[in-house]
Amino acid sequence: MPDYFSVDYEINDWMSRENQPSKILSMIPWWRLFGIYNTFGYNVRLIEEVEGLPDMVFTANAGLVYKNKFIPSNFYHAERRGEREHFKNFFQESGYEIVNLPPDVFFEGQGDALWISENKLLLGYGRRTSEAAIEHLKAIMPDCEIIPIKMVHEPTAEKPKEFYHLDTVLCHLPMTNTFLVYPGALSPEAMETIRSLGETIEAAYPEAEKLICNSVAIGKYILMPIGETSRFVELLNERGYKVFLIEMSEFLKAGGAVRCLSFFY
């Protein structure tokens, strides 16, 4: 629950201490999302937010679950490192074996690690997650294919924002094996890889900036942050999807949206 959610520091280009989210307004979409997951039969578990850790609401960044193992994130920014022990304790108390990455290997969990099938994982690196994480995760998950996706950033006056987690620019829709993707944040080789894995629906910068790719697919339903969505909604409807638009403006002030608020395991 976003009890202590605020913008206390600026670690991505969406965050400004001058532009604080409203507590009340952030509760509304948070409960909406909670209600939707429950309606779809998910067993939603909550972790208590901790005062002084305002980004803890973005539980996607807790780490990664693989079978009975939990690999906690090693946050890139000092401002988020305090979250680690809380997420770790949560999974330890739930019976998971904790597998730590070396402390100098950065890894931001499901923000950068996207399952596209039971044993195929896309791993974004180059911004929050270190390249070295690829080999470590391969060793921890030997029966999985880990596909590295290099993130790049070449700011221009019209496209100033740096996309910093893979889930800010990529979403996989399993029903039709389609990717929502913003190519501008990925290396040409990474884009080629994604195009070889499935169909792509590619976002333009104004769509990507509103974190349109930070969506969640539940079968034919897509939970998508409100923003520049009309083109995507049409393309998705044509493919048999129904889009639920969720007002995420308060979370967008911290650089997060629908996908960031959820951890799946």
Our CB check for ligand ARG shows the closer of 31 and 264 to be 264
- CA atoms of 108 and 182, how far apart (whole Å): 20
Rule CB under 6 A: is residue 60 a binding residue for ligand ARG?
A: yes
111 near ligand ARG (CB under 6 A): yes
Query: Shortest Cβ distance from residue 105 to ligand ARG (Å)?
Result: 17
**Any catalytic annotation for residue 171?**
no
Per the CB < 8 A criterion, the answer to whether 28 and 261 are in contact is: no
Should residue 250 be labelled a site residue for ligand ARG when binding is judged by CB under 6 A?
no
Residue 234: how many other CB atoms lie within 10 Å: 10
Q: Is 62 in the site for ligand ARG (CB under 6 A)?
A: no
Active site residue 260: yes
| Residue 138, both tokens | 């391969």
CA–CA distance, 137 with 134 (Å, rounded to integer)? 5
Query: Which CB, 11 or 222, lies closer to ligand ARG?
Result: 11
Residue with smaller CB distance to ligand ARG, 44 or 234: 44
Buried b (16+ CB within 10 A) or exposed e, 152-188: eeeeeeebebbbbbbbbbbbbbeeeebbbbbbbbbee
Rule CB under 6 A: is residue 63 a binding residue for ligand ARG?
Answer: no
Q: How far is the CB of 42 from ligand ARG (least distance, A)?
A: 18
Is the CB of residue 108 less than 8 Å from the CB of residue 129?
Answer: yes
Based on the shown chain and the rule CB under 6 A, indicate whether residue 260 belongs to the binding site for ligand ARG: yes
- Do 203 and 211 meet the contact criterion of CB atoms below 8 Å apart? no
Residue 254 within binding range of ligand ARG, rule CB under 6 A: yes
29 binds ligand ARG, rule: CB under 6 A: no
Q: How many residues does the chain have?
A: 265
C-alpha distance from residue 129 to each of 51, 101, 190, 211 (Å): 25, 12, 15, 19
- Say whether residue 21 binds ligand ARG (CB under 6 A): no
10 vs 176 by CB, closer to ligand ARG:
10
Can residue 209 be called a binding residue for ligand ARG (CB under 6 A)?
no
Residues that bind ligand ARG (CB under 6 A): 11-12, 15, 55, 58, 60-61, 80, 111, 165, 167-168, 254-256, 260
